[in-house]
Homo-oligomer: A and B are copies of this chain.
């Protein structure tokens, strides 16, 4: 297996990427390739340079609205070089902590989509009661059609089965009210498609069902999904900061704070996006995992672990089969 790691992606690149590459090679022993500016990377790798391959690519590519389709197909930055290696079969997956829009645009231009897929969906694992839940789209498509949401459901169910190990995953449609007639136009038009999809569709859901662990796959448009994801991240931060302030406000609660510190740490680990590390773009003709720009080495290592697992279980092939089989039926 060969996983590519975009060395130029994260906000603090390439240090977190170099550190993660060394740790991944220690952990898995197996081929991990850094893609980025070789002159910068080789000295940082030092004695590890002998066991970690570096493929050279020009520095960071700034995304602007003026990028032409032609330049997306030609650009030789770390993302462009990586996509070509996946396309040619020389690599199995890419991990990047770079700009999501950039990764999506270059991936669409170079890898294209799985047969029949209308739009790839950016797919997160949300921490919920007793585990994780798959949520997509969390930001790749701000305007969606009902057919896209149906395909997100099909692909999300495959992901939940293969990566979370859930049999016959429960699929919910994010809405505002549980009855079939509730929601905006998109949700109301998507509902019957999901009802007739053959999936284990449990109907409209809200935050309570999602975070209560009552659903394995939550389907939504990329605008709503992204607002929700960023909202819950921010509120989790607010709660832990407030609690810390309250605990520091008196000597007795400070002592109590010392005693509950392990409990706090366990909670933070449970809720830490770094424990999962990256969101796949499901529906591309190749495996691409996009992490937070602010990823550290631990987050990137988690993303590499997720990418490896996805390759091992044959995620790409299963996604393709699921979408093709649904198209065959409709």
Contact = CB atoms under 8 A, between A and B. Distances in A.
Contact of A253 (B129, B238, B262): B262
Contact of A143 (B185, B206, B246): B185
A116 interface: no
Given A232-B235, A250-B263, 10 more contacts: A128-B238, A142-B176, A142-B184, A207-B231, A208-B234, A220-B227, A231-B231, A235-B235, A243-B267, A247-B260
Contacts of A211: 231, 234-235, 237-238
Q: State the main secondary structure of chain A at its contact with B.
A: helix
Interface of A: 65, 127-129, 139, 142-143, 174-176, 181, 183-185, 187, 206-208, 210-212, 220-224, 226-228, 230-243, 246-247, 249-250, 252-253, 255-264, 266-267, 270-271
A243 B263 contact: yes
A253 B242 contact: no
B235 A181 contact: no
Contact of A207 (B230, B261, B262): B230
A16 B187 CA distance: 35
A213 to B, nearest CB: 9
Contacts of A247: 260, 263
